[in-house]
Amino acid sequence: MAILGIPLVGFVVAPIFRKTTGKWISVGKMTDFEIGKTVTVTVTDPSSLPWAGITAKSALWLRRVSDADFVAFAVNCTHLGCPVRWLQDAELFMCPCHGGVYYSDGTVAAGPPPRPLIRYDVRTVNGQVEVKTMEIPITTTL
């Protein structure tokens, strides 16, 4: 019985020790993104386990600033993690849960968010836009 328990413990504990951040993932071709536009991009979490299915899907906000410059933000409000939406006409990110508002650069404009939107590192390689994955901190501020 003890011999059977060892693989089970390894199976349960192994994900804790997997490297889950710092991987560059492609989010599309540079030409897929229009300068000045902010769009939502769906990504698959590279740290997820093979059986994670749809729960491995996440999203981020990506803006093409110039020919070669991009900026990416987490979709989660820094207040309680609700997904923010981009209002193109107002050039603001809005959180529908508690009225958080962010400027287009991710800084807090109004409401309860304690910090700016979390930014991802972005680079371009061979015409592809890549975003560096990271763990999104869980906010406990009420």
Question: Could you report the per-residue pLDDT of 10-43, keeping only the tens digit for each?
Answer: 444 444 444 456 889 999 999 999 999 999 998 8
Residue keyed to tokens 């011999």: 3
Superfamily of domain 22-132: Rieske [2Fe-2S] iron-sulphur domain (2.102.10.10)
How many other CB atoms are found less than 10 A from the CB of residue 7? Answer: 9
By the 8 A CB rule, do 73 and 50 touch?
no
**Helical segments of the chain, H only:** 2-13
Task: Give me the percent of the chain exceeding a pLDDT of 70.
Answer: 72
**Three-class SS state of 95:** coil
Rounded-to-integer distance, Cα 120 and Cα 118, Å: 7
Whether 47 has a pLDDT exceeding 70, the answer reads no
Domain limits of the chain? 22-132
Rounded-to-integer distance, Cα 104 and Cα 100, Å: 13
Q: Is 138 exposed, middle or buried (0-12, 13-18, 19+ CB in 10 A)?
A: exposed
Whether 50 has a pLDDT exceeding 60, the answer reads yes
Q: What single letter denotes the amino acid at residue 126?
A: N
State residue 13's pLDDT score: 47
